[in-house]
Amino acid sequence: IHVDGSVDPARDIEVIDTELLLKDLETVTKRAERAVRGARTGDRAAVREAEVVRGLQGHLESGRPARSFTGEGAAAVMREVGLLTAKPVLFAANVAEAELGGNAYVDAVRVLADKEGAEVIVLAAEAEAQIAELDPPERADFLADLGLERSGLDQLVHAAYHLLGLVTFFTAGPKEARAWTVRSGTLAPLAAGEIHSDIQRGFIRAEVITYDDYAALGSEQAVRDAGKLRVEGKDYLIRDGDVVHFRFNV
């Protein structure tokens, strides 16, 4: 039973957003008072911070979240203060299995999400629980019956990674295959360092296969034979889904 006695996700989102914004406004108001006191000393950094904080305070007072506040020095101040409305947003809409294509509630959420530039993932929690218990072949058949290529959970994880600026690359050997998470824009040697500092220190090159090529062709040798294995150097930026073999010497 909903606390307001009715189902209205758009209303609920606005209520939560308002509560978060008021909390941020309280935090920023205290910070602004401190920043103004510091600016009275004439310190240039303190004066600049006071300007940024006052601008942020006005932004919040107008009902807009901190994440839409821009300007020189804004990002640094928001990181330091740790504002709730500065965080990126992803909406997950839980619906009945028959409404995975959407409904009026989802449409209303999408309208709000579009204003934020946010993404909406539609999933059916009950169906997801069933999918989690199935073997891979059965899972694929179940998803096909639902008209889906990926489960809602997979979509949610992928969207969250993208929102946080993260990518996944894979390494595989005779004993283990493993996924590694790094920030988007990570250079190959730094990604190698996630595995072991020696690999980063002695980095020579990265042999890279896309996950799609690996899945389609079935083996590393088949990818090599098809000429789809790439050799990349220290300036290569790791991409989401790369299957990588690092060559190094220490």
- pTM of the predicted model over 0.85: no
Domain identity same for 173 and 213? yes
197 and 220 within one domain? yes
Same domain flag for 45 and 72: yes
Q: Domain check: are 159 and 170 in the same one? A: no
The string over 8-47, giving b where at least 16 C-beta atoms fall within 10 Å of a residue's C-beta and e elsewhere, is: eeeeebeeebeebbeebbebbeebbeebeeebeeeeeebe
pLDDT, tens digit, for every residue of 145-196? 888 889 999 999 999 999 999 999 999 888 889 999 999 999 999 999 999 9
Residues 185, 244 share a domain:
yes
CATH code, domain with 100? 3.40.50.300
Cβ–Cβ under 8 Å, residues 100 and 148: yes
Domain that holds residue 207: 166-248
What is the C-alpha radius of gyration for the chain, rounded to an integer number of angstroms?
A: 24
Q: Is residue 3 domain-resident?
A: no
Write down the pLDDT at residue 76. 84
pLDDT of the residue at 1: 63
The CATH number assigned to the domain holding 184 equals: 3.10.20.30
Residues of the chain with pLDDT under 70: 1
Two structure tokens written together for 142: 């179940």
Joined tokens for residue 118: 């946010």
- Looking at the fold, whether 156 and 109 belong to one and the same domain comes out as yes
- Count: domains in the chain: 3
Per-residue pLDDT, 186:
98
In a domain, residue 25? The reply is yes
4 within some domain:
no
